[in-house]
Amino acid sequence: MAMQKLTGRQAFIKLLLDEGITHMFGNPGTTELAIMEAVPQFPELKYVLGLQESIVVGMADGFARASNKLVACNLHCAPGLGHAMGAIYSAKFSGSPIIITAGQYEVGYGLQEPLLYEPLVPMVEPLVKWAFEVTRLEDLPRIVRRAAKIARTPPMGPVFISLPGSVLDEETEIEFGFPTVVDAAVRPGDASLQALAQRLLAAKNPVIVAGREIANAGIFDEACELAELLGAAVYQESVGYNARYPTSHPTCMGDLSRNQKKVRSILEQYDFLLCLGADLLRMSPMSTVEPLPPEMPVMHITEREWELGKNYSTETAVRADVKETLLALLPVLRAARSAEYAKAASARVQALSANNWSAKRDAARAEFSAAAAANPIDQRYLVSQ
């Protein structure tokens, strides 16, 4: 994009559009009026109004999760940013790529401590991947480009930019540059793939914990094929970030809970755990019982290196893109499976049908339907309808 003479408010929105952003969610106040004045000049940006900041961030978080795309969210100075903290925590926890901005008083005016003023960056820094305040209009492109790059580079997450009114009102010639998109779709090398396949096929009764990275990458079919090749039961990870695995597939056993004792009793049935694009047994209340059975071997494949070996010793820890890894691993598994193993895997899948998620759903539906004529009405039947 060539050098252009624009106001800060115009430049900001043009930069968002150039980064591929189509939606901005916002709750404007006086410090956001400059942006609101510019929004009608850019009809290609859809502005979605919310009436409280936590709701606004929640909408942006949901949109980012559903679309797996970068989104913008504009809040109102310090109190508004404070309202949004819980929702920003949720966006961080879910790895949602959001550029969060808030209007700020003019550069230098904070010295006088006007109403609603507080330095914004220190408030939000613990909950975002990166936070910065713009103090020169000439720096705006570099800041927005960096923010967009950081937000959408795996592991994805929210970032924050503080926008002083004086920067938005200023007009100057600006060099826009262009977006930087990091290709993070890496997979293990060929030798590692062979080792992964051999280790997986050595298990007699494996279980898979399916995570959010499967949905983010759109590889439900590949994940289902992996479960069928291994004859593995599949549980969705214990936090419902998104739809982590098709519940209608015969290998789907439902969600793991965050009750350590219950998870331990489930996993004790198996001899090997593959954690695929998931958190490894993220729990809630403390318990004296560890959810992972002692001595259970674990293979963990994720793009988030922080999760590898974080709480539990991991026999095979692989930092890689789940999609690229599965696309390369599945042919290796197909070729390496013996006829005897394939027969045993098929038998394991068939055995799951009596107690999988679909069977439990059908049993519950029949139980609730039997209460259709109950008076007063059975709440379970009412919910099922």
Domain boundary (145, 174, 203) is at 174
Q: Measuring CA to CA, which residue among 53, 71, 52 is closest to residue 61? A: 71
Q: Residue holding tokens 């709701």? A: 55
What span, in angstroms and rounded, lies between the C-alpha atoms of 10 and 27? 19
Does some domain include residue 286?
A: yes
Percent of the chain with pLDDT over 70: 99
Q: Which two tokens stand for residue 93?
A: 């926890």
Q: Residue holding tokens 């929210």? A: 158
Span 94-101, average pLDDT: 97
Span 347-369, average pLDDT: 91
Residue 319: helix, strand or coil by DSSP?
strand
- The domain that holds 278 is classified in CATH as 3.40.50.1220
Range of the structural domain that residue 107 is part of? 4-174
Span 53-65, average pLDDT: 97
The model's pLDDT over 126-163, given as tens digits with 9 standing for 90+, comes to 999 999 999 999 999 999 999 999 999 999 999 999 99
**pLDDT confidence band for 368 (50 / 70 / 90):** confident
Residue type, 326: L
Q: Are residues 13 and 131 in the same domain?
A: yes
**pLDDT confidence band for 62 (50 / 70 / 90):** very high
**pLDDT confidence band for 365 (50 / 70 / 90):** confident
The model's pLDDT over 120-130, given as tens digits with 9 standing for 90+, comes to 999 999 999 99
What span, in angstroms and rounded, lies between the C-alpha atoms of 237 and 103? 38
Q: Are residues 290 and 212 in the same domain?
A: yes
What was the pLDDT predicted at 2? Answer: 63
- Widest pairwise Cα distance in the chain: 78
Q: How many domains does the chain have?
A: 3
Alpha helices in 181-298 (DSSP H): 190-201, 212-217, 220-230, 260-267
Has residue 43 got a pLDDT over 90? yes
Look at 370 and 115; give whichever has higher pLDDT. Answer: 115
CB 228 within 8 A of CB 251: yes
Instruction: Classify residue 227 as exposed, middle or buried by CB count within 10 Å of its CB (0-12, 13-18, 19+).
Output: buried
Q: Considering the chain, what is the average pLDDT of its residues?
A: 94
Q: Are residues 8 and 156 in the same domain?
A: yes
Q: Are residues 29 and 162 in the same domain?
A: yes
What was the pLDDT predicted at 1? Answer: 54
Does some domain include residue 369?
A: yes
- The domain that holds 58 is classified in CATH as 3.40.50.970
The model's pLDDT over 274-322, given as tens digits with 9 standing for 90+, comes to 999 999 999 999 999 999 999 999 999 999 999 999 999 999 999 999 9
Q: Are residues 326 and 365 in the same domain?
A: no
What was the pLDDT predicted at 111? Answer: 87
Alpha helices in the chain (DSSP H): 8-18, 33-38, 53-67, 77-83, 85-94, 120-124, 140-152, 165-169, 190-201, 212-217, 220-230, 260-267, 322-336, 339-352, 357-369, 379-384
